[in-house]
Chains A and B, each alone.
Chain A
Amino acid sequence: MNAASATWEPKIVAFLCHWCSYAGADLAGISRLQYPPNVRVVRVPCSGAVNPIYILKALQRGADGVLVSGCHPGDCHYLAGNLVARRKFALLKRLLEQVGMEEQRVQFSWVSAAEGQKFADVIRKVVGDVKALGPAGFLSKAGRASCP
């Protein structure tokens, strides 16, 4: 993690809901859509299952940015998981703003199983945004051993 290095690439952890966004990522792959390889995907049952500490922990332990993606409102497999998540995310965003975290470090999206192109676009945007911000030095653990 060398900020000055021109070859520095951000690590993005993406929490994708099993029913929509993960399938959307799959579709992007099957469709051979190109997007930056910086993203590490963690499949979760629902965007509503994403505890804010997962996001913060990822940033603490080496992620430079986090994306959480779920089903569009109305499409949730569990009916309203994403709508509950939406509230949590709005609050988390405000909280991170209070402690000076750059807004683009943590992003949220709705990507359906049919939106392979949107998934690729979202990843491109998040990676670009975080690349512009540089490494997440703030929440990340100082002097940590590199995570495998």
Chain B
Amino acid sequence: MTANLRETAARLLAEGTVQLVLGWERGTLPLRTTPLFAREPGDAERLVYDPTCDHNLSGYLGRLKEERVALAARPCEARTLVEQVRENRIARDRVLAIGLPCSGMISRRALASRLADRVIREGRLAGDRLVVVGDGWQEEFPWVEVRDPACQGCRLPDPGIYWVAPEAPAPPEGDRFARLDARTALSPEQRREEFRQAAERCIACYACRQACPMCVCAECFADRTAPALLGPTADPSEAMLFHLVRAMHLAGRCVDCGACARACPVGVDLRHLHLALEREAAERFDHRPGVDPEARPLVGSFRPDDREEFIL
């Protein structure tokens, strides 16, 4: 796959069809990749594609100066692109989405937990096997065992946004909302405790917001000073408000790419909030983000017969 991607990228750049190809290259730490902004055909040689290419590249599209760009597009990028086109954040014909088949991404968090936080000195993928080496130990196992749980039940629609459709995408497996169903057993007290703990961990670095390709406000409510919507304290309630309002702002727009959870340096993962709203939007309003570039916005539109059983 990497070979195809390199070839396509080099050709597009050489022909001048695009001025930039957005992809990933090997990172500087084991099992990490980093975004690559390829501008010369020669840069294409550095492109890689494997289950460590987990950073959603679509977030960069909004700030590019180039007239036309090619985007290495997993389903996460494609769904994001649909939303960005839908919201007129980028012109559809500016982006050539090179569809990539995807069977999920390695979760660094899942891997760390499997390895009991032992430090990885070296990691590599050999086919579907993952080899990790540490200080005096080595383990090898199928990488899907540490696949990001959010990749389960991935929606792989062809929203008609691809320039080249991905070859034979793996069929979506599992139920995408299974993660939520697993939470139904939690009591309200447990949920409050879980959320409080997440809020206490949060250091307000806003890596989640910055990594999110759909967090696009020119000025985030959290940064406003007049009026200041969040207080100057480190009280956990400030983080609670931030994450709740962020979830509201992403309702009907979050494509569940997981960039927020991956970006968090202190292990806060609140994707279930976004997923709960996604399910509510699907079940109550028949709205599915990342599918239809012509769709009406979820909040900001309505149907006269939207259910209102909860209103007194």
Contacts and interface: CB of A to CB of B under 8 A. Distances in A.
Contacts, number: 116
B198 to A, nearest CB: 9
A100 B191 contact: yes
Interface majority SS on B: helix, strand, loop or mixed? helix
B302 A98 contact: no
B68 interface: no
A142 B308 CA distance: 34
A108 B310 contact: yes
A99 B281 CA distance: 18
Interface of A: 52-53, 56-57, 60, 73, 80, 83-84, 86-102, 107-110, 122, 125, 138-144
Interface string B276-312: 1100110011000000000000111110101110111
A28 B26 CA distance: 68
Given A52-B245, A95-B277, A100 B188 contact: yes
Interface string B222-237: 0000000101010111
Contacts of A83: 302, 304, 306
B308 A86 contact: yes
A139 B193 CA distance: 11
14 contacts: A52-B248, A60-B241, A88-B248, A90-B310, A91-B251, A91-B280, A94-B277, A95-B248, A95-B276, A100-B190, A100-B193, A101-B188, A108-B310, A143-B235
Contact of A99 (B187, B244, B251, B311): B244
A87 B312 contact: no
Contacts of B193: 100
Nearest to B233: A141
A95 B244 contact: yes
B240 A53 contact: no
B235 A142 contact: yes
Given A90-B306, A91-B248, A100 B192 contact: yes
A100 to B, nearest CB: 3
B245 A122 contact: no
Q: Which 8 A-B pairs rank lowest in CB-CB distance, beginning with the nearest?
A: A100-B191, A100-B192, A109-B312, A100-B188, A83-B302, A99-B195, A94-B280, A98-B276
Given A86-B308, A94-B276, A108-B311, A139 B302 contact: no
Nearest to A97: B276
Contacts of A138: 192, 196
A87 B298 contact: yes
A60 to B, nearest CB: 5
B237 A60 contact: yes
B302 A87 contact: yes
B272 A98 contact: yes
Interface string B147-186: 0000000000000000000000000000000000001001
A125 B312 CA distance: 10
A122 B193 CA distance: 30
Given A52-B244, A108-B311, A98 B188 contact: no
A88 B299 contact: yes
Contacts of A88: 248, 299
Given A53-B229, A100-B187, 6 more contacts: A90-B284, A94-B280, A96-B244, A109-B311, A110-B312, A139-B240
A39 to B, nearest CB: 14
Given A60-B237, A94-B280, A100-B195, A87 B221 contact: no
B244 A87 contact: no
B105 interface: no
